[in-house]
Amino acid sequence: MEYRLFASLDGSDEQLIGITPETSLVRTIPPGSVVWFVQAVFRGCPATTSARSRFTVPKAQNCRTDAAQPISPPDGAADVDNDVDFSWAPVSGAVKYLVFLKLGDGAYEAIGDTADIHLARNLGDGRYRWRIVTLFNGCPPAVSAEPGRGLEGSSFRVPPLQLILHGQHKCC
């Protein structure tokens, strides 16, 4: 059995914000009016959906607007190892960082979240761009790039894997 938690902020579309086998789940939510519900999913049976509930996350009195800035891999880096350790400068008051990545011209996708100032992932070859969303209690999130100014975070390239054949070893 698993539970799927859905939420809507300020009338936006409902989004899946987490899946867990437990009966509780912790998520950082920006200020606003939240409508949420849970789906209980049983193997071989249709999901059961709870009633919708509401709560409000109050806005903090003083909100920071500075976002974490990417450090590594640096913008324009080439031949980055497939095991990438994303790191960024810390932001005072941040409670969590979300890391988003896009391959080539694709869309940004969340690859993880952490309260730390780095996140490691193994990536395939290609040209990537990444950005960080900084979360604060009771404040809107801050994004590491400025939309509309052509900045899309830091970019780097992971080279294709090189296959080296020695002796009797053959490939494909």
pLDDT of residue 154: 59
pLDDT of residue 16: 92
Looking at residue 39, its pLDDT comes to 96
CB 27 within 8 A of CB 17: yes
CATH 2.60.40.10 fits 70-158, yes or no: yes
Structure tokens of 20? 């867990």
Region label for 126, one of left (φ > 0), alpha (ψ between -120 and 50) or beta (otherwise)? left
Instruction: Mark the ranges of the chain whose per-residue pLDDT is less than 50.
Output: 146-152, 159-172
Output the CA–CA distances (angstroms, integers) from residue 92 to 101, 106, 117, in the order listed. Answer: 23, 32, 12
User: What are the sequence ranges of the domains in the chain?
Assistant: 2-57, 70-158
pLDDT at 55: 93
